[in-house]
């Protein structure tokens, strides 16, 4: 962290490098640079060597941009909305702003290239989307809804299974590659992410791996067919700060036994079902927020990562 000084040489404003801003907001560095170059949403200062430095005001602006994007404002129009200081627009953009829907546009392109089984063109659209928007937002607005739509469609029309299979394999390959790229630079706490649910949780598992590693967590990823009774041996030979399980449903007695045996903190994604007396919540077992953009903040608060405010 750097500090801007006033004429008397006193520390005035804290300035953060782009990596710190990315960790604080969940927006990757490529997207932050794109917002600056293409749309003028940010105006960071520069060091003598040309490195970007952001103020706390810049960080708050990034968070404001995220709110507007989540409400459906296209990135190309966000600056006009923010500069207008129209608080009514910020609260009710769908009613007060005439906007194009970028997600409908991306969905149309995805469907076109999926139908043609064109991985190269699909990758270009994917890369454009995640360069302008956070992966969490792209997943929420585009990837997960379309993936679910094609899954349901092929259940009714088996002849359309190829569309679902093509998208699923594309996303798994793309997210797997991104996870490895980010995880290689991560230096934060060590998380064991294990998919004990099988094929149906594979996409969710890879999205979690991406979000965590991009945020700085070191993630060891275990794919499909992982079983709970395999984990004590792994946890015994490697030091992990937490275990994360994409798990939809109730907490089982087997999970309680695992926690009692290893004393590891467990985070569960997915929705919660009614608990029976035998499977009540354990003190070391916690549910993650369903919104991907809130996952890292929740884990930061729970694990009390040094230097991160709760």
Averaged pLDDT for residues 102-113:
94
The predicted pLDDT at position 220 comes to 97
pLDDT tens digits, 191-232: 999 998 888 899 999 999 999 998 899 999 998 888 898 899
**Has residue 9 got a pLDDT over 80?**
no
**What percent of the chain clears pLDDT 90, i.e. is strictly above it?**
56
Averaged pLDDT for residues 36-48:
91
Q: Is 162 exposed, middle or buried (0-12, 13-18, 19+ CB in 10 A)?
A: middle
The predicted pLDDT at position 68 comes to 87
Q: pLDDT-derived band of residue 91, with 50, 70 and 90 as boundaries?
A: very low
**Has residue 107 got a pLDDT over 60?**
yes
- Mark out the alpha helices in 184-229 (DSSP H runs): 202-214
**Has residue 187 got a pLDDT over 60?**
yes
The predicted pLDDT at position 81 comes to 86
Long-range contacts of 257-261 (CB under 8 A, 24+ apart): 258/228, 258/231, 258/232, 259/284, 259/285, 261/232
Q: Cα dist. 242→257, 266, 271 in Å?
A: 16, 6, 19
Averaged pLDDT for residues 7-29:
74
C-alpha atoms less than 13 angstroms from C-alpha of 112 in its C-beta half-sphere = 13
**Has residue 293 got a pLDDT over 60?**
yes
pLDDT tens digits, 29-41: 889 999 999 999 9
Q: pLDDT-derived band of residue 54, with 50, 70 and 90 as boundaries?
A: very high
**Strands lying side by side in the sheet with 52-55:** 2-5, 11-17, 52-55, 45-46
**Has residue 10 got a pLDDT over 50?**
no
Q: Is 255 exposed, middle or buried (0-12, 13-18, 19+ CB in 10 A)?
A: buried
Poorest-pLDDT segment among 138-142, 251-255, 277-281: 277-281
Q: Does 274 or 144 have the greater pLDDT score?
A: 144
How is residue 139 written in tokens? 């997943």
Averaged pLDDT for residues 165-191:
94
Residue in this structure with the two tokens 């991160």, named with its chain if needed = 308
Q: How far apart are CA 282 and CA 38, in angstroms?
A: 48
Of 98, 110, 102, residue with least CA distance to 147:
110
């Amino acid at each position: 962290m750097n500090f801007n000084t006033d004429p008397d040489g006193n520390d005035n404003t804290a300035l953060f490098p782009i990596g710190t801003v990315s960790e604080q907001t969940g927006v990757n560095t490529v997207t932050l640079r794109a917002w600056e170059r293409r749309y003028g949403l940010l105006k960071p200062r520069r060091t003598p060597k040309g490195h970007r430095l952001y103020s706390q005001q810049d960080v708050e602006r990034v968070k404001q941009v995220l709110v507007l994007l989540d409400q459906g404002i296209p990135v190309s129009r966000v600056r006009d909305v923010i500069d207008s200081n129209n608080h009514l627009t910020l609260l009710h953009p769908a009613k007060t702003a005439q906007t194009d829907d970028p997600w409908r546009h991306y969905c149309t392109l995805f469907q076109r290239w999926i139908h043609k089984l064109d991985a190269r063109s699909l990758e270009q659209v994917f890369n454009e989307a995640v360069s302008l928007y956070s992966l969490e937002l792209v997943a929420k607005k585009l990837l997960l809804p379309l993936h679910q739509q094609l899954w349901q469609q092929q259940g009714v029309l088996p002849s359309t299974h190829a569309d679902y299979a093509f998208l699923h394999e594309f996303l798994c390959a793309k997210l797997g590659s991104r996870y490895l790229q980010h995880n290689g630079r991560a230096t934060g706490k060590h998380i064991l992410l294990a998919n004990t649910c099988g094929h149906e949780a594979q996409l969710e598992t890879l999205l979690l791996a991406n979000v965590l590693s991009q945020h700085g967590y070191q993630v060891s990823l275990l794919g499909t067919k992982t079983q709970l009774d395999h984990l004590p041996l792994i946890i015994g030979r490697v030091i992990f700060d937490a275990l994360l399980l994409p798990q939809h449903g109730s907490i089982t007695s087997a999970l309680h036994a695992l926690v009692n045996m290893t004393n590891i903190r467990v985070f569960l994604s997915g929705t919660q079902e009614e608990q029976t007396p035998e499977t009540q919540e354990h003190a070391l077992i916690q549910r993650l927020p369903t919104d991907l953009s809130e996952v890292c903040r929740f884990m930061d608060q729970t694990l009390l990562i040094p230097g991160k405010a709760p």
